């Protein structure tokens, strides 16, 4: 029996990008921070473009510690949701429209979040990548780090624990 031809690359990219956009747009707080996500395959990089409302110390000026923490936390939450949804998006048993409706995807809940501030956040764009270190049925542990001009100069890192929604897909569409 012949293997079915793989889907055209545009179709795959379009489906992944719109699924990611739907997931990100469903969370108002991410829009408030102005954070967006770049995707290469399943790898995500969160980007927080600089804007005045993120300033915590106007004298320097420096990014607010709370803004940096929030940026790290949304990066971790999106990475965890994205990793959990990846198979469903690929199969695809879940469509971007269903993600957008917010009814089919439950966001993991933060149990605790611990941030190390390593350098002052400069008035520039910030980037972050998260890594799911362990994801069980009930709990997940996620590490996330953020940098600005140089990837080797981490401005802040965090570890968070999350309660996984049960079941992950509330309703199978």
Partner 1 sequence: MDFDKNRLAQQFMEALPHAQALGIFFENIGSGKAEMHMNYNKKFIGDPQTGVIHGGAVFALLDSCCGAAVLSHPEQKGLTATIDLRVDYMRPAKPGQTIRASAQCYNMTRSVAFVSAVALDDHEDKPVATAAGAFVTGKS
For the CB of residue 13, give the shortest distance to partner 1 in the complex, in Å.
25
Among residues 20, 46, 77, 140, the one that binds partner 1 under rule CB under 8 A: 77
Among residues 47, 55, 83, 132, the one that binds partner 1 under rule CB under 8 A: 55
Q: Is 29 in the site for partner 1 (CB under 8 A)?
A: yes
Among residues 8, 28, 41, 136, the one that binds partner 1 under rule CB under 8 A: 28
For the CB of residue 152, give the shortest distance to partner 1 in the complex, in Å.
21
Distances (CA, A) of 120 to 22, 26, 43, 74: 32, 30, 26, 20
> Mask of contacts with partner 1, 85-114, x by CB under 8 A?
-----------------xx--xx-xxxxxx
Q: Is 34 in the site for partner 1 (CB under 8 A)?
A: no
Q: For residues 117-156, which are near partner 1 according to CB under 8 A? A: 117, 120
Candidates 120, 157, 148; CA nearest to 49 is 148
Burial call 52-70: b when 16+ CB within 10 Å, e when fewer: eebbeeeeebbbeeebbbb
Joined tokens for residue 77: 């939450």
Distances (CA, A) of 99 to 109, 112, 129, 134, 169: 17, 26, 22, 24, 10
Q: Are 42 and 4 in contact (CB under 8 A)?
A: no
Sites of contact with partner 1 (CB under 8 A): 26-29, 31-33, 52-59, 63-67, 69-71, 73-74, 77, 102-103, 106-107, 109-117, 120
């Amino acid at each position: 029996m012949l293997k079915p031809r793989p889907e055209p690359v545009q179709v795959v990219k379009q489906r992944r990008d719109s699924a990611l956009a739907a997931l990100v747009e469903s969370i108002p707080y991410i829009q408030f921070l102005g954070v967006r996500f770049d995707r290469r395959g399943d790898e995500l990089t969160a980007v927080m473009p600089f804007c005045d409302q993120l300033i915590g110390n106007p004298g320097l000026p420096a990014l607010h510690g709370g803004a940096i923490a929030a940026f790290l936390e949304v990066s971790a939450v999106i990475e965890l949701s994205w990793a959990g949804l990846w198979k469903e998006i690929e199969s695809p048993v879940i469509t971007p429209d269903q993600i957008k409706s917010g009814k089919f995807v439950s966001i993991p809940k933060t149990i605790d979040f611990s941030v190390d501030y390593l350098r002052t956040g400069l008035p520039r764009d910030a980037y972050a990548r998260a890594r799911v270190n362990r994801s069980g049925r009930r709990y997940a542990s996620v590490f996330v780090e953020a940098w600005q001009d140089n990837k080797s100069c981490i401005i802040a890192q965090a570890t968070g624990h999350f309660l996984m929604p049960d079941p992950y897909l509330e309703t199978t569409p």
